Structure 1
């Protein structure tokens, strides 16, 4: 009997006005790891064909992302934050499903310093999880 692959919908997010170049750099780093992890057990469904550089930040794209993930029959949703992220976009996508949702972001490179806040990923994830709770989305 052949083992069924888990179908994972991956919707990276970024804040609209923050650097797309830096967001792409972050996305490429984590997607390289994700695509090589358990590739025989997990099928990745990305949004590269919908969002610029495969990173969502525009509410106008959420319906198409949800439709693509529904058509693919995803078993779980992964929303990695490339920077602060767009919490309304993350909530709109996640609330379209009753599936396990994982929120993740890379550690900011300059925490607790007097310099620029950089990507501010941790703060954005706090904001997003607050909005996810308001939408009744269970997440990890």
Structure 2
């Protein structure tokens, strides 16, 4: 990895300080939980992150949302409300135009539709170099 020049290093320090002072990672995590709770059944939440710290928070929060082992949730109530019993039924409802859905992770409360994040194509990167670090993750509520 190339060493940062002095100006870049100062920028990284300023970013780290801003993230810590404003508690931005906790705010992101809280916002993800609140946004998922606002979704209707079948609704989707798509999040674009530009930094590895943000992407890690999005990934871990999505995994926590669908994993209800630590929460008091009535599994039968969730399955009844969703009206679906397994991933095959849900995936059969997905439109053919959604080829981007390749690997999924199913939980009791939702499905992570992007096990691996969607990143820009080479063409997209050449048109907009700032998009290079963008990662898209999507979760669907059951």
Fold in common (TM above 0.5): no
Report the structure number with the largest CA radius of gyration.
2
Task: Identify the structure with the greater helix proportion.
Answer: 2
TM-score (norm 2): 0.30
TM-score (norm 1): 0.31
